[in-house]
A = this chain, B = another copy of it.
Amino acid sequence: MSEAKTSELSEKRPAGDITRVINDFSIQVATVNGSGSQSANSVLLRSIFQMGVPVSGKNLFPSNIAGLPTWFTIRASRRGFVARKAEIDFGVAVNAQTAREDAMLVRSGGALLAEASLGLAGIRDDISIYEAPLSDIAAEVSSEARLRKLLANMVYVGILAELLGIEMPEVELAIAKQFPNKRKAIELNLKTVRAGLEFATKNLVKTDPFRVERMDRTRDMIIIDGNSAAALGAMFGGCTVVTWYPITPSSSVVEALTEYMARYRIDPETGRATYAIVQAEDELAALGMVIGAGWAGARAMTATSGPGISLMSEFAGLAYFAEIPAVIWDVQRVGPSTGLPTRTSQGDILSTYVLSHGDTKNILLIPATVAECFRFAQEAFNLAERFQAPVFCMSDLDLGMNNWMSEPFEYPEDIPIDRGKVLTREDLERLGGFSRYLDKDGDGIPYRTLPGTAHSAAAYFTRGSGHNEHAHYSERPEDFTALADRLAKKLETARGEVPPPIADNVEGADVGIIAYGTTHHALEECREQLRSERGLRASYLRIRALPFHRAVRDFIASHRRIYVVEQNRDAQMHALLTLEYPALATRLRPVLHYNGIPIDARFITDSILRQEDKGV
């Protein structure tokens, strides 16, 4: 799994040496899915987080409900790197199916905590191996079979707390947070953690270098997954209609939204919902409902993943051509087809940009952080209504389903709810009438009225077939060309209004790097590796939307070699940049990662260095 050639740590010290490694290591817990290790892992993550140490967690789970191997990696990084770390410093082996493999994956000089019954002692001599009868210890806490299975996970939390020096009060707090007002569960889990801890103190002698020590880098920070953040964004963005069809990894967007809305979007006066959430029969219907709702004036959205996007193709073209606002939150997973439903990817960029037959081009927003999920969800509705077009938010499984640290989200004072060019009855009385598809303002964006507007001139006829400025059916060649050109112009206007890219131009940089979405997190780290390991200075541009903002060109123009890093096979963003800037195309070099595992800094660094060395 790890493409790492070398390692920060092993470079510095030979295996075995136990000079302490503080707040800078990865833990990988290997368990069986459906065995309840999730809560144990979150508690572990939270405890470290509460000690002020930057952490990140990645859940590597199977497309299955129970019984298959699953891995959870926690990374503690004093420098605040939250991307996946290719190497495993500390392994926890609980799953018999994969125990030996799991033991082998630990980097030399690392450590392994293993369920005693797996008999992994002595499987390797270049790592510290700790054995513990996890389920026996759990059994002492509870004899109930089902419960014991669950609690066994809490045992390793206790042992790790002891071995790594995680403070018990933080663990207690984390458990309390994990089981909000479930007194009984809290007590039971706590008891188990303590049992684990005691076992460790009594029976284990620490021989590994890893330790957690209190820092102050997480004060006031929150932990949240991207899907929940998107849900919050939608709720504060004034979303009124939500339709969906369940699909991993997007389901939790609407599931979280359903809970938040029920809590915060009931009109206190009437006790009625200021929204409607509907589980559709499939994705065609989900987008159809969003389009009907957007047309009738709702701020409507749906959330889905690759297969859903494909099924939405025809309707997406209708929204584009009939100019109807719609927000589609795509949590990308590995395709094509069903692909790897529980693995991450950035593989829908190109096909979504040109989704549907005929000449179409869509607006795409690409969040990289949970904060951007919150922000872009709100901006998506504004952009959709301003441009009367479908707006696709391209999240991914890594961002959507994993937990991320973040500054608390800010109240959207700066994001007023913008309904775009909607003419009210009063406007119509003033104007006398309007032409639905007339480019009055020269920005390609026409005016619309909402069904139900009480004015005889309000009505117009919407269709996916050819029409003129007055929304009358037309097959006239010149009408069609005019319409097609205005639609293109509208997208030109969008360049200036979508979230601009974020550039970090380094003085006299040797190379430029372009990335987007979750690839961003590995880049922070990659750039430090390039600098520290080779003294290579790299400027960095993070793209946040399509069509490209003008600033993208400037960045490319100002660097001789630009590496475009993304998580798909076909270099999709690289392709779009090539199309947009043919004159600069030869400067662009793809760096591609597409095995379903979140990309890591080491992979990028090595790929870039390999190409730099080739001097290509």
> B356 to A595, Cβ gap below 8 A?
no
Which of B466, B488, B583 lies in contact with A334, CB distance below 8 A?
B466
Min C-beta distance of A536 to chain B, whole Å: 24
**Structural contact, B311 and A307, CB atoms closer than 8 A:** no
Indicate whether A339 reaches chain B with its CB closer than 8 angstroms.
Answer: yes
Q: How far is the CB of A423 from chain B (nearest CB, A)?
A: 24
Oligomer: number of copies: 2
Instruction: Report the bound CA distance from A569 to B314 in whole Å.
Output: 19
Which residues on B sit within 8 Å (CB–CB) of A569? 359, 484-485, 488
List, in ascending order, chain B residues with CB within 8 A of A594's CB: 359, 480-481, 484
Which residues of B have CB within 8 Å of A596? 466, 475, 477, 480
Contact A317 B334 (CB under 8 A): no
Report if A518 contacts B (CB, 8 A). Answer: no
Which of A14-22, A292-300, A340-348 makes up part of the contact surface? A340-348
Q: A335 contacts B359, CB within 8 Å?
A: yes
Bound together, the chains give a CA A613 to CA B488 distance in angstroms of 27
Chain A, residues 229-264, CB within 8 Å of chain B (1/0): the string is 000000000000000000000000000000000000
**For the complex, what is the distance from the CA of A61 to the CA of B334, rounded to whole Å?**
44
Chain B residue numbers with a CB within 8 Å of A350 are: 354
Question: Which A280-338 residues have C-beta < 8 A from chain B?
Answer: 306-307, 309-311, 313-314, 316-318, 320-322, 334-338
Minimum CB–CB distance for A280 against chain B, Å: 16
Q: A477 — which chain B residues lie within 8 A by C-beta?
A: 1, 343, 595-597
A414 at the interface (CB under 8 A from B): no
Inter-chain contact B357/A310, CB cutoff 8 Å: yes
- Answer yes or no: A201 CB below 8 A from chain B CBs: no
A555 to B82, CA, bound (A): 49
Contact across chains for B337 and A475 when beta carbons are under 8 A apart: no
Q: Any chain B CB within 8 A of the CB of A180?
A: no
Residue A554 lies at the interface, judged by CB distance under 8 Å to chain B: no
Chain A residues close to B by CB (< 8 Å) = 1, 62-63, 306-307, 309-311, 313-314, 316-318, 320-322, 334-343, 345, 347-348, 350-352, 354-361, 463-466, 475, 477-478, 480-481, 484-485, 488, 568-570, 572, 575, 578-579, 582-583, 585-586, 588, 594-597
- For the complex with contacts A307-B357, A321-B337, 13 further pairs of A-B residues with Cβ separation under 8 Å are A307-B317, A310-B356, A318-B338, A334-B358, A337-B465, A339-B466, A348-B357, A359-B569, A480-B594, A480-B596, A575-B579, A578-B582, A578-B585
The 6 closest A-B pairs by CB, nearest first: A335-B358, A337-B464, A306-B357, A477-B595, A582-B585, A336-B358
